[in-house]
Structure 1
Amino acid sequence: MSEGKIRRPRAETPKGFRDYFGAEVTERKQMLDAIAAVYHRYGFDPLETSAVETVEALGKFLPDVDRPNEGVFAWQDEDESWMALRYDMTAPLARVAAQYRNDLPSPYRRYAMGPVWRNEKPGPGRFRQFYQCDADTVGAASVAADAEICAMLSDALEEVGIPRGDYVIKVNDRKVLNGVMEVAGLSGDDKAEARGIVLRAIDKIDRLGAAGVRALLGEGRKDESGDFTKGAGLGDAEADVIMGFVAAKRDSTAGTLARLRELVGSSEVGREGVEELETIAALLAAQGYGPDRIEIDPGVVRGLGYYTGPVFEAELTFEILDEKGRKRSFGSVAGGGRYDDLVKRFTGQTVPGTGISIGVDRLLAALRAKGRIGQEAAGPVVVTVMDRDRMGDYMAMVGELRAAGLRAEVYLGNPKNFGNQLKYADKRRAPVAVIQGSDEAARGVVVLKDLVLGARIAENATLAEWKDRPAQTEVARADLVQAVHRMLAS
């Protein structure tokens, strides 16, 4: 670098991160506000925790069970303690529940919304920072709390614009799977690794199909790229038991539960899990949530190691086209379950908890696919500046528009070129431009330019429409607010 040459930083987003502009931020806020209204209706309170937790508090309960203390953005503080950006919303909740256990009501219902960070390899649609929207109940041992979470999730999906019939919430119980594993000879500490492989394999049933899962239960599986994934090493008889569980869903809730009872056999934990599912189904049915909205499905296991009872997943069932133009179901947008051992790390006492996490970006993408959002939003009314020395008059106009609840702004760039002001208004997607030069001011009038109609006329409006609704009109200055309201309404 030559002497005296300034090295300037590159203006680029860090790898794995992205920026969000105008409509994206607004759409996300509107969606989260709608969800929060449902949570509030159910009696849940908002909670905001720090974006930073101690690595010790995050502990080994990170979703990636193969590398529990990796995958986080961490650093060593001045006192040599390790800090990290939160990986999810659940670990901070466990810390809060333990720290404030003498002050919080029990059970404690809370929801939390905000960004989380994962130090993982980014890819298409996979970022290192993303939003989560969680709701949890801590301190309720009854599976009525799990049923409530599922009902609340159903209401939230419908509230934001996913109609009934376009989604289903699938419910299972890890105790049932534990019972099936017991029958398959996979209980005991020495089988922990094999159980983990089985869990992850079943969780991939939609992507890999029965043959792919079966391969992972045995010696392993080689994917299309040639990469080999180690299997659980089960024999044919044990794999048959697991595959029987995966295929246990029947046409009715009663039929599915009966088949699960057969599969768990004499396993006590397995029978307990089936009974919990029966209770959840009955509680939901009593509130009008039938299998068209929430169903018992043994195919849902959730890959996280800390779930101890009921688990649930919200799947959107409508079809979209993938990047290769093939039809496929949209897939999962939320998941969760019961985690009765999470707070125990801090207190030594078992504190029951259950909750759900919505993938905010996924749900936003679904709403765009359904056409519920993504329409180009109108920008503010733009008050143009014809005379520099009359800025006070223009500010008075914009103040009146804002006081009337209208989104408005004064052009604050160089007013010398009026054409640039209209280009600016177009870039801002302004529906109306307000124009007043010295001549209009002397006559006590303003000119309103309908930019939406003007654009349509420029494209394909008929001559009759042009004459019937001129894109530019002159109104009395005193009628500014009412005239803008009328133009926007039209």
Structure 2
Amino acid sequence: MTDDPAQTAARPQARAPRGFNDRRARDLLGERRLLAAVTSVYERYGFEPLDTGAFEYADALGKFLPDADRPNEGVFSLQDDDEQWIALRYDLTAPLARFAAQNWETLPKPFRRYAAGPVWRNEKPGPGRFREFVQCDADTVGSARPEADAEIIAMAVEGLAAAGLPGDAYVIKINNRKLLNGVLAAAGVRDEGQKLAVLRAVDKLDRLGSEGVRLLLGEGRLDESGAFTKGAGLAPAAADSVVAFTEAGGGVRSQVLDRLSQVIGGSEEGEAGLQELAAIDRALGGLGVAEAAATFDPSVVRGLEYYTGPVFEAELLMQTLDEKGDAMRFGSIGGGGRYDDLVARFTGQQTPATGFSFGVSRLSAALRAAGRDGAADARGPVVIINFDAARMGDYFAMAGELRAAGIPTEVYLGTSGMRPQMKYADRRLSPAAVIVGEDEFQAGTVTIKDLDLGRQLSAGVTDNAAWREQRPGQLNVPRGQLVAEIRRILGAAS
């Protein structure tokens, strides 16, 4: 008997939309661990949780709104039944600005909140670039003090450490937009479009180097493919001053401040930026943040245009490998800064704010690429092998005892025989399988197979004979010792 061609043609193809990934236990548990670690840091600093929901009115998001009838550039949007456009949030900061403006009179000030959840961007997907991913933010709204920025930076450092990164595996790079504005003011640059072109050129320093940036600051740059990118149009002297500014980093924070004071041109805005960085430096010292963990780097500009002062970016330094085993660089795994004008879009009144966002999905992928994601923790439950349908009540009683002891357990509910059930348990990454046939029921015993041990032995861990003798791969114990024996196996594997 064959399928009806008409029915076959009508079946949808099983496929996921581009940029939207299906994730199983390993990915999900890794992200949950990260979120638990990072949010525990936020709560110790006194930040409260907030969830603003997935949809916002499209005009509240602002940044991605195009001049078109359908506002879906950069965001996923739809028209509600009241004919207003709503869109999935593209980050967690724009919804916070709306919430703060809407509830400002009733909020404690400053308002300190953290948030975590998925965000969506209607952009072209690619390697490591998804349309749906998870972020975790902490923000302070209502404080203009540089110490508020320093506290956010300190939490970012502590959050990365809590996520399992050693101290030499990351760095928070800090800059201040006011410094570059001061350099440009001294060079006579006033046009906002030209300033934005300068920011974009400086943002390419890691990829193009000083000479490549210098070309983009001037007339433009011809790349290897022959494509020409128009530059910012700065005069040679002005371009030199910007490049000198970006190269003023390196060394302890106080040394960088000294060098920056020589290149900002003495402008009022530049001096204000220097004073803010100096205050951040003092606060970071009081917070115990090491020089190597948080550095001043004038080349950091951040991509979003709404930053108004200090900006910071978390860069991953440790080596990571791709799926083929080749070395790869993850780079930025989070960032943030001060955005004093964002709430004013709603209220017309400037409201100081600063925050930091972890790219949870990206950080989780980086930890996995570095072999630090704790993949062993993604193993499945203890599996109780099903020999006899008439004994299902007994099997469920065993499962109930193990679950009551906090041990994830399942009874096999398929119809396969012994060997496929054991294969099933192995595919679930189960730590152990419980085997109870009629002989065991008559004797009042259970047979337990240590699957974790079997995996280690099959992987070549065979050099410790004493350890193997102390941990037999399969054993038969009295029924009353089931929970204790499973606990012993789990403890030996941890």
TM-score normalized by the length of structure 2: 0.92
| Residue 395 of structure 2 corresponds to residue 385 of structure 1 | no
Is the Cα contact below 8 Å between 1:340 and 1:350 reproduced in 2? yes
Spell out the pairing of 1:310-459 with structure 2 (5 A cutoff).
Answer: 310-320=310-320, 330-376=330-376, 377-415=378-416, 417-456=417-456
Whether the aligned pair in 1 keeps the contact of 2:339 and 2:354 (CA below 8 Å) is yes
Among residues 477, 480, 493, which one is paired with 1:478 in the alignment? 480
Distance in 1 (CA, whole Å) between partners of 2:9 and 2:363 is 45
Distance 1:269 1:404, change over 3 A: same
**Cα deviation code 1:320-350 (max 9, x no counterpart):** 4578987665422111100000000111111
Task: Write the deviation string for residues 48-107 of structure 1: whole angstroms up to 9, x where unpaired.
Answer: 1111111110013789xxxx9721111222222111110111100000001111221110
Moved more, 100-109 or 255-264: 255-264
- Relative distance call for 1:389 and 1:430 in structure 2 (3 A) is same
Secondary structure, counterpart of 2:337 in structure 1: strand
Whole-Å separation in 2 of the counterparts to 1:5 and 1:25 = 34
C-alpha displacement of 1:425: 0.8
Q: For 1:286-297, what aligned pairs fall within 5 Å after superposition?
A: 286-297=286-297
Q: CA, structure 1 residues 326+473, in 2 after alignment: closer, same or farther (shift >3 Å)?
A: closer
In structure 2, the partner of 1:278 is: 278
In the alignment, is residue 143 of structure 1 matched against residue 114 of structure 2? no
Match of 1:215 in 2: 215
Report the secondary structure of 1:136's partner residue: strand
Does residue 1:106 correspond to 2:109, yes or no?
Answer: yes
In the alignment, the residues of structure 2 paired with residue 435 and residue 230 of structure 1 have an alpha-carbon distance, to the nearest angstrom, of 71
What secondary structure, in the 3-state scheme, does the structure 2 residue paired with 1:101 have?
helix
Count of matched residue positions in the alignment of Structure 1 and Structure 2: 482
Q: 2:324 & 2:268 partners in 1: Cα distance?
A: 47
* Deviation of the 1:463 alpha carbon: 12
Which amino acid in the other structure matches residue 313 of structure 1? E
Structure 2 contact 64–73 (Cα < 8 Å) conserved: no
User: Offset of 1:362 from its aligned partner?
Assistant: 2.4
CA distance in 1, matches of 2:239, 2:248: 14
* AA aligned opposite 2:487: H
Contact 1:382 1:410 in 2 (8 A): yes
Q: Cα deviations across residues 289-342 of structure 1 (Å, max 9, x unaligned)?
A: 232221221111112111111111112223345789876654221111000000
Show the 5 A alignment for 1:189-200: 191-200=191-200
**Corresponding residue of 1:11:** 14
Q: State which of 5, 26, 29 in structure 1 corresponds to 2:29.
A: 26
Report if the CA contact (8 A) 2:203-2:299 is conserved: yes
Q: Write out per-residue CA displacement over residues 257-291 of structure 1, whole angstroms, 9 at most, x where no aligned residue.
A: 22322322231111111111111111111232232
| TM-aligned CA deviation for residue 399 of structure 1 | 0.3
Aligned to 1:168: 171
Deviation, structure 1 residue 468? 6.4
Q: Is the 8 A contact 2:253 2:295 kept in 1?
A: yes
> What SS does the corresponding residue of 1:148 show, helix, strand or coil?
helix
Preserved CA contact (<8 Å) 1:59 1:69: no
- In the TM superposition, what is the alpha-carbon distance from 1:488 to its structure 2 partner? 2.8
1:438, distance to aligned residue in structure 2 (A): 2.1
**Residue range with higher mean Cα deviation, 262-271 or 396-405:** 262-271
Q: Which of 161, 164, 187 is matched with 1:158 structurally? A: 161
Cα separation, 2, equivalents of 1:130 and 1:375: 20
Verify the 8 A CA contact 1:184 1:242 in the aligned structure 2: no
Deviates most, 34-43 or 478-487: 478-487
- What do residues 108-160 of structure 1 show as CA deviations (whole Å, max 9, x unaligned)? 11111111111111111111111111110000011110010011111111111
Aligned ranges for residues 88-107 of structure 1 at < 5 Å? Answer: 88-107=91-110
Partner residue, 2:46: 43
Distance in structure 2 (CA, Å) of the matches to 1:45 and 1:27:
23
Tell me the TM-score normalized by structure 1: 0.92
Aligned equivalents of 1:23, 1:411: Cα separation in 2 = 22
Instruction: Give the conservation status (yes or no) of the 8 Å contact 2:314–2:334.
Output: yes
Instruction: Read off the aligned partner of 2:439 and give its amino acid letter.
Output: D
Find the residue that maps to 2:174 and give its secondary structure: strand
1:179 to 1:458, Cα distance in 2 relative to 1, 3 A? closer
Deviations 1:190-240 (A, max 9, x none): x12111111011111111111111111112223333333221111211111
Cα distance in 2, alignment partners of residues 136 and 458 from structure 1: 49
Return the match for 1:488 from 482, 487, 490: 490
Aligned residue for 1:248? 248
Would the aligned equivalents of 1:140 and 1:352 in 2 still touch at CA under 8 Å?
yes
The residue matched to 2:313 in structure 1 has which SS?
Answer: strand
Show CA shifts across 1:349-374 (max 9, x none): 11100001111122113323443214
**1:199 to 1:324, Cα distance in 2 relative to 1, 3 A:** farther
Once the two structures are overlaid, the 10-residue window that deviates more, 214-223 or 8-17, is 214-223
Change in Cα spacing, 1:21 to 1:62, as seen in structure 2 (3 Å) is farther
Deviation of 1:467 after TM superposition, in Å, equals 6.8
Structure 1 letter corresponding to 2:192: A
The superposition leaves residues 152-190 of structure 1 with CA deviations (integer Å, 9 ceiling, x where unpaired) of 111111111111222221111111111111112212xxx
| DSSP 3-state at the match of 1:349 | coil
Alpha-carbon distance in 1 for matches of 2:422, 2:321: 39
Aligned-residue sequence identity (percent) comes to: 55
Once the two structures are superposed, the pairs formed by residues 181-192 of structure 1 within 5 Å of their partners are: 181-187=184-190, 191-192=191-192
Quick check: 1:77–1:83 contact (8 Å CA) kept in 2?
yes
Q: Which amino acid aligns with 2:434?
A: V
Of 327-336 and 265-274, deviating more is 327-336
Distance change (3 Å), C-alpha of 1:468 and 1:271: closer
3-state DSSP of counterpart to 1:102? helix
Q: Is the 8 A contact 1:60 1:69 kept in 2?
A: no
5+ residue gaps, structure 1: none
Unaligned runs of at least 5 residues, structure 2: none
Equivalent position amino acid for 2:21 in 1: R
Aligned-partner Cα distance in 1 for 2:323–2:443: 59
CA distance in 2, matches of 1:348, 1:228: 41
Cα distance in 2 between the residues matched to 1:395 and 1:327: 48
The aligned residue for residue 177 of structure 1 is 180
Q: Distance in 2 between matches of 1:24 and 1:259?
A: 44
